[in-house]
Chain A
Amino acid sequence: MQHEYALEAEGLGKAYRMYGSPMKRILEGVTWGRYKGHGEFWALKGVDFKLRPGASFGLCGANGAGKSTLLKILSGTTAPTVGRYRANGRVASLLELGAGFHMDFTGRANIVMNGTMMGLTRREVEAKMDSIIEFAELGDYIDEPVRTYSSGMGLRLGFAVAVAVDPEVMIIDEVFAVGDMYFQKKCVDKIYEFKKHNKTILFCSHSLYDVRQLCDEAIWLNQGECMAIGESVMVTNEYSAFQRHHIGEEDVTNDIPMSPLAEGGARELPHVVDARIYRMGTDEECYQITTGDSIEIRIWWKNPTPAETPIHVGIGFMRQDMTTCGGAGTNLSGHDLVGEQGCLVLRVPNVQLLSGQFLIPVILLDGGGVHKYQEYLMPENLVVRTNTRDVGLFRIESSWDDVDLAPPESREEVPQEAEAESGA
């Protein structure tokens, strides 16, 4: 059974039945469904998409938007109510890290149990045992009961088992958001590895960063309906624009948290209206540059209550593996934003970034530079090309020379770190 697509869905929908009381359920049962005792709640209303092998697909949306329901249907734990889908190849899902772990058993025993439950044979699990333990970095703890583990160790073990299944389609609900940075980095690396091997990834996250970084395509769900689908940059921007528009309403999500000062509820928080990159000194928008070009980033911001909520703006240059390569902040430079709105310009002459794709998050901070009001993403990633043969993230100002000098006495003790980090 070979199909063009790794995963395709047509009009997928899911209704949950709501029974007022158990009696209604009995009545419905004994009348063979003639008596309708239940109400229906449509968690998902007709979603279509097609994913080619190697695609990475992000799901974004507020709580209760139907993201988890969609992932549950696709991973086969629950049936759709309407519509159909088709998967080509083995599907593995990671809806919850460590689901099915038994606390009183050792990590090793849990690997076997969880692995077999995810569809591996015992022999396969045994064969992968060492690599699982290595990935989970549990060391000697692997033979201790899981209840003695820290939550981070449990997460690593759960993720290690799930990725060991090595599926064609990997479904990941927001599971690693709970881990520390190191764990997240590990998961992200693994996901990149999956992508490299032409596997299809479905990924759900509240973090628009993650969706943009990890996914080529994305879908935005709102109350079970598909609001936008397509390139992840476009979808996430549409989603965050929607969130801005709905400030003060009930469904404001984590990207723009409600102000703790808000009284009536319907008040506007400081926010970024728009942000774009231009070639320095011109009005030409530009997202593809060559190392050495000069750019300026214009940020249009709004702050209806500057007296109560002073703001600062931070800008980062992030590589797709979440490495922050550089950044600037008005709080760091001591530049104050006065007034209720304005256009802030960050001039970056002679960009020294080497070739790669960079995400440019614009972060709206409070007066102290601590609380994040908003993370705004540029409509496009910045793509940098390099004409020279420099390696790394940045071009280092450097020059070579030959001189006549004898080696110093204590040469042995000089630490040797010749390992150059290879660029994106």
Chain B
Amino acid sequence: MSTAARTPRLEDQEGGPLATVAQRDAEGWVTARAPRAREIAQRIVGFPFLLRAHWDLIATSVKRELEVRFQGTVLGWLWPLFHPMFMFAVYYLIFSQLLDMKIPDLPEGQESAMAVFMFVGIVVWAAIAETLNRGTNAIVENGNLIKKLAFPSEILPLNITVVGLVTMLFALAVFILACWITPVWRAPGVGLLWIPVLVLVQGVFTYGLALMLSTLQVFLRDTLQVVAIGTTVWMFLTPIFWAPQVINSDSLDSMMPLIQTNPVYHLVQAWRGTLMGDLYVVPNEYIAGGFLVSSADVAWHIGVFALWAIAAYVIGFAFFVLSQRRFADEV
């Protein structure tokens, strides 16, 4: 932490907030050299300090971002709820009703398990996919700002990440409310305490990826197209609409390690464990059996995902910091 405390804080404004595009030495000279490993590490570790120093800017930008999205629309704040609802309705119809991917032998009172299972997955995935798709353009889209104003541009992907999380939390809050007042699903209890942790790790993970992708997009405009395809493929590879345990038991043993290498698998399972509690499936000839969702596994899933999140954050941030001084020339 001692290195973090020495991180040049932007609120000092000593010589302006230009530390983000160029490197300043101890005597205050700003030079052309690339950031050193130590400086990159300082930026990565010192990000919370930047957050604190620029809290007003971030809060204002996020507010603006949210207002822009819903201002002037008839449904306004209902949109973040409607969007996953419609997606859910379509996919539920296709997967559960047409393709008959139902979970048989559901316990008493949990008949809607598959629907809730899918809904939670969709809401969480929608937040990630939206952040990645919009975050990829975060720098390029704000080229004029980058060229004309000196401010820490790492805030731009952050805004989009936070907006994604806020809309997701809104949809989930409506879900939790529905559980309390309707019999759709048993209301989640003390497990809700996991939510701040889940939001944090999900934020760190998507922010790291958004930093990486937005940087790539500056130098290679094809990135956006690749991300659009990539997120769709990734969605189907992740157990959002399907449960791994529903796969034929012979292949499950070989599939499970593969599925577990997907960080988002751990994230959605952690969210499901938090919001749905335990969901046990009686094994039969089609189903491998075991817990489809388990509140006891939440901590483990979060732990695995947190490692991914830290890796994504560190790599993404380092990549961003190394390229940041070239942004204004390229956008």
A-side residues, CB < 8 A to B, are 1, 3, 16-17, 22, 25-26, 29, 72, 75-93, 95-96, 99-100, 102, 104-105, 109, 112-113, 116-123, 167, 169
Contacts and interface: CB of A to CB of B under 8 A. Distances in A.
A29 B31 contact: no
B32 interface: yes
Given A91-B15, A112-B60, A113-B61, A79 B32 contact: yes
Contact of B56 (A86, A87, A100, A122): A122
B63 to A, nearest CB: 9
A76 B148 contact: no
B328 A118 contact: no
B64 A122 contact: no
B64 A121 contact: no
B14 interface: yes
A99 B145 contact: yes
B13 interface: yes
Given A102-B64, A104-B68, A82 B32 contact: yes
Contact of B329 (A16, A109, A113): A16
Interface stretch (B93-101, B215-223, B290-298): B215-223
Given A99-B144, A116-B57, A122-B56, A75 B150 contact: yes
A80 B147 contact: no
B228 interface: no
B197 interface: no
Contacts of B257: none
A117 B222 contact: no
B27 interface: yes
Given A76-B20, A77-B328, A104-B68, 9 more contacts: A77-B21, A77-B148, A84-B32, A87-B28, A89-B14, A89-B15, A90-B15, A105-B64, A109-B64
Nearest to A22: B220
B60 A84 contact: no
A118 B22 contact: no
A29 B328 CA distance: 19
A75 B326 CA distance: 15
A201 B67 CA distance: 37
B71 interface: yes
Contact of A80 (B31, B60, B144, B219): B31
Interface in B1-38: 10, 13-18, 20-22, 27-32
A1 B64 contact: no
A79 B15 CA distance: 14
A69 B213 CA distance: 27
B220 A80 contact: no
Interface string B92-111: 00000000000000000000
B29 A86 contact: yes
Given A99-B145, A119-B13, A84 B30 contact: yes
B interface bracket (residues with beta carbon within 8 Å of A): 35 or more
Contacts of A86: 15, 27-30
21 contacts: A1-B14, A25-B219, A25-B220, A75-B150, A77-B18, A77-B149, A77-B328, A78-B21, A79-B21, A79-B32, A80-B32, A87-B15, A87-B16, A87-B30, A89-B14, A99-B149, A100-B149, A113-B60, A117-B57, A117-B145, A123-B56
A7 to B, nearest CB: 9
Given A76-B21, A78-B325, A82-B32, A118 B149 contact: yes
Contacts of A75: 16, 18, 150
Interface in B104-154: 144-151
A152 B75 CA distance: 35
Interface in B63-95: 64, 67-68, 71-72
Contacts of B28: 1, 3, 86-88
A116 B220 contact: no
B18 A84 contact: no
Given A91-B15, A113-B64, A77 B146 contact: yes
Contacts of B15: 1, 86-91
Nearest to A109: B64
A116 B145 contact: no
Contacts of B13: 90, 119
**Which 10 residue pairs spanning A and B have beta carbons closest together?**
A76-B18, A91-B16, A99-B148, A79-B325, A76-B150, A78-B328, A122-B56, A79-B22, A87-B15, A116-B57
Contact of A22 (B27, B67, B221): B221
A100 B325 contact: no
Contacts of A105: 64, 67
B22 to A, nearest CB: 4
B323 to A, nearest CB: 11
Given A104-B71, A113-B60, A78 B329 contact: yes
Interface in B310-331: 325-326, 328-329
Contacts of A90: 13-16
Interface string B218-238: 011110000000000000000
A169 B326 CA distance: 24
B17 A76 contact: yes
